[in-house]
Chains A and B, each alone.
Chain A
Amino acid sequence: MNNKQKYDQVFMESFSIDKSALDETLEYNTIQSWDSIGHMAMIAGIEEMFDIMMETDDIIDFGSYTKGFEMLAKYGIVF
């Protein structure tokens, strides 16, 4: 799996959604499963998948599917 596939997999598993839902409209609180509990599950999934530990601000600002790419770039993960 490349990084993009890994990233997508975490989203699909954390929020129980299909690949077709992964686009720029996918944001925190726009779907029922991406609430605070879902957010924690997703962050935990990302940290595990990429073996990183994210900073508080990055966890809080990880507010959308597309925003996540920027966040992960800080940890040297390129897409």
Chain B
Amino acid sequence: MNFYEDLEKYYRNTAIITETSEQLSYKELLDAADNIGKQIKKRCLVFLVCKNCLESVVGYLGFMRVKAVPVMISDRIDNVFFANLIEVYKPDCIYLPTEKSGLEINCKTVYSYGSYSLLKTDYNIDYTLHEDLALLLTTSGSTGSPKLVRQSYRNINSNAEAISQYLGITNVDRPITTMPMSYSYGLSIINSHLFKGASIILNEAMIMERRFWEAIRNNNATTFGGVPYIYEMLKKLRFERMNLPSLKYITQAGGKLNLELSAEFADIYADKGIKFFVMYGQTEATSRMSYLPWDHARSKVGSMGIAIPGGSFWLEDENGNVIEENDIPGELVYMGENVTLGYAESCSDLCKGDENNGVLHTGDVAKRDADGFYFIVGRKKRFLKMFGNRVSLDEVEQLIKAAGYDCVCVGTDDNLRIYSTNLADKDRIRNYIEARTGIHKAGLFFMYIDKIPRNESGKVLYSELRQD
């Protein structure tokens, strides 16, 4: 049984604590969820515009419980991208904050819950959803691509179970949200804690805001997760000086944390008696593929750890042969029940079944030490993690070129460098990239270059650009 359908067993537990400290039991949460579910035709496609609020969680559970298929969308999505996504997927319903419900398509409000409205569109397309298809997530790079990851019921269940097992989640845990639920890492925290009957503290404030720290204290949060830039903030805020005795464990994923910060936080957390779990994953594997057991946070610093329960890794060389020796880099390949079905590019792909057969070539290059711990050493493909989201350098380059500028993009995580022969319009380009991709300006850097280095066949020689 999929775990959404089996949450009644926790009915007395507190499921949700809202920003206004309202508490809902699992029973109350499920009642509200099922009221929304009743408004939905089973097995249809629903767009869910997500915030870390009660309405959003209620809609998510309501849709999952009637086996409608939600597309999880960030509430910060660019309007143009959102309109395009609607056009490409033609959802039956759209569930979103009422203030955003003025869409330029024909639809009518059929249900309201709190600050959210459920809109029925008039597409009425009778496309088939594959029976395994449970949920669709945007590919974490938000470069305006309508490409979605197709996740199955089995994917979501097995990943929630594995995560709750290795983190040792119990029903007394109280995670506080730090990332959008449209983002696979954020959603996995919600799923794995619901799985165990824990209480989720919904929070929209960022960790730079006083409200966030008050919410931790007032509600005795036991855990939160963070992508690398959140760790930069924790460092700046001098987390080591804070006294937050309710925190039991903290996770890190969404990109590799630099070695120095990783070591620093391993020490800080150890001093405070907080377990530190470094993890690795991709939306293409539902969420998590590996974790570093907390008692190795210091001794194996820099490692992404070992495969999650039920999963396994191996490394492949350029010819696709398995590398058996230790300390030899190769492409990291993962096998497990959480490897998703594949991608969708439009609504006609939603009838597709499993195209991956449980195996994911991650595109990351890693090596394994003698103790079996894996270390990411590079990437096979040209992409970066920007503030936790995967961004394809080629896609950004093409976006800028489409706007009429000659440029090449290189960089490191959280630091995307755009080389151009003309910097006159750099502010315009910066605003344009931010609007279209959601990449924060603070991570975009413009560099002047006389001439874009190319080989005889016109291919860009990225290696000749400064890569630091």
Q: A16-B427, A40-B229 are in contact. Are A59 and B206 (CB under 8 A)?
A: no
Are B237 and A36 interface neighbours, CB within 8 A? no
Are A56 and B434 interface neighbours, CB within 8 A? no
Task: Give Cα A24–Cα B123 distance, bound, in whole angstroms.
Answer: 47
B430 within 8 A of A: yes
* Chain A residue with the shortest CB-CB distance to B444: A16
Are B241 and A38 interface neighbours, CB within 8 A? no
Task: Give Cα A38–Cα B229 distance, bound, in whole angstroms.
Answer: 11
Are A16 and B229 interface neighbours, CB within 8 A? no
A60 within 8 A of B: yes
B208 within 8 A of A: yes
Are A16 and B430 interface neighbours, CB within 8 A? yes
Task: Give Cα A44–Cα B229 distance, bound, in whole angstroms.
Answer: 13
Distance of A10 from chain B, by nearest CB (Å): 12
Report the tally of A-B residue pairs with Cβ distances under 8 A.
52
- A38's partner among B213, B430, B441 (CB-CB below 8 A) is B441
Are B237 and A59 interface neighbours, CB within 8 A? yes
Are B242 and A56 interface neighbours, CB within 8 A? yes
A35 within 8 A of B: yes
A41 within 8 A of B: yes
Are A38 and B440 interface neighbours, CB within 8 A? yes
Are B207 and A36 interface neighbours, CB within 8 A? yes
Are A36 and B242 interface neighbours, CB within 8 A? no
Distance of B261 from chain A, by nearest CB (Å): 14
Contacts of B430 in A (CB 8 A): 16
> Which residues of A44-66 have CB atoms within 8 Å of chain B's CB atoms?
44, 55-56, 59-61
- A59's partner among B208, B427, B442 (CB-CB below 8 A) is B208
Are A61 and B210 interface neighbours, CB within 8 A? yes
Q: A16-B427, A37-B440, A38-B442 are in contact. Are A56 and B208 (CB under 8 A)?
A: no
Task: Give Cα A32–Cα B233 distance, bound, in whole angstroms.
Answer: 18
Task: Give Cα A23–Cα B236 distance, bound, in whole angstroms.
Answer: 26
Contacts of A37 in B (CB 8 A): 229, 387, 440, 442-443
Distance of A20 from chain B, by nearest CB (Å): 14
Task: Give Cα A32–Cα B78 distance, bound, in whole angstroms.
Answer: 12
> Which residues of B414-449 have CB atoms within 8 Å of chain A's CB atoms?
427, 430-431, 434, 440-443
Contacts of A61 in B (CB 8 A): 210
Task: Give Cα A55–Cα B242 distance, bound, in whole angstroms.
Answer: 11
Are A56 and B241 interface neighbours, CB within 8 A? yes
| Max chain B Cβ within 10 angstroms of own Cβ: one of A28, A56, A61 | A56
- A33's partner among B233, B238, B441 (CB-CB below 8 A) is B441
Are B233 and A44 interface neighbours, CB within 8 A? no
* Chain B residue with the shortest CB-CB distance to A60: B210
Contacts of A60 in B (CB 8 A): 208-210, 213, 237
Contacts of B233 in A (CB 8 A): 36, 40
Q: A16-B430, A35-B440, A56-B242 are in contact. Are A43 and B207 (CB under 8 A)?
A: no
Task: Give Cα A16–Cα B236 distance, bound, in whole angstroms.
Answer: 22
Contacts of B443 in A (CB 8 A): 37
B232 within 8 A of A: yes
Task: Give Cα A28–Cα B210 distance, bound, in whole angstroms.
Answer: 12
* Chain B residue with the shortest CB-CB distance to A36: B206
Task: Give Cα A40–Cα B208 distance, bound, in whole angstroms.
Answer: 8
Contacts of A55 in B (CB 8 A): 238
Task: Give Cα A59–Cα B242 distance, bound, in whole angstroms.
Answer: 14
Q: Mark B294-308, 1 if CB is under 8 A from A, else 0.
A: 000000000000000
* Chain B residue with the shortest CB-CB distance to A14: B442
Q: A16-B431, A16-B441, A60-B213 are in contact. Are A39 and B238 (CB under 8 A)?
A: no
| Max chain B Cβ within 10 angstroms of own Cβ: one of A16, A36, A41, A59 | A36
Task: Give Cα A44–Cα B235 distance, bound, in whole angstroms.
Answer: 11
Distance of A53 from chain B, by nearest CB (Å): 9
**18 pairs of residues in contact across A and B, judged by CB atoms under 8 Å:** A15-B441, A16-B431, A33-B441, A36-B207, A36-B208, A37-B387, A37-B442, A39-B208, A40-B208, A40-B229, A40-B232, A41-B442, A44-B236, A56-B237, A56-B238, A56-B241, A59-B236, A60-B237
* Additional A-B contact list (18), CB under 8 Å, known A37-B229, A40-B208: A15-B441, A16-B427, A16-B430, A33-B441, A36-B208, A36-B233, A37-B387, A37-B440, A37-B442, A37-B443, A38-B440, A38-B442, A40-B229, A40-B233, A44-B236, A55-B238, A59-B237, A60-B213
Interface positions of B (Cβ within 8 A of A): 206-210, 213, 229, 232-233, 236-238, 241-242, 387, 427, 430-431, 434, 440-443
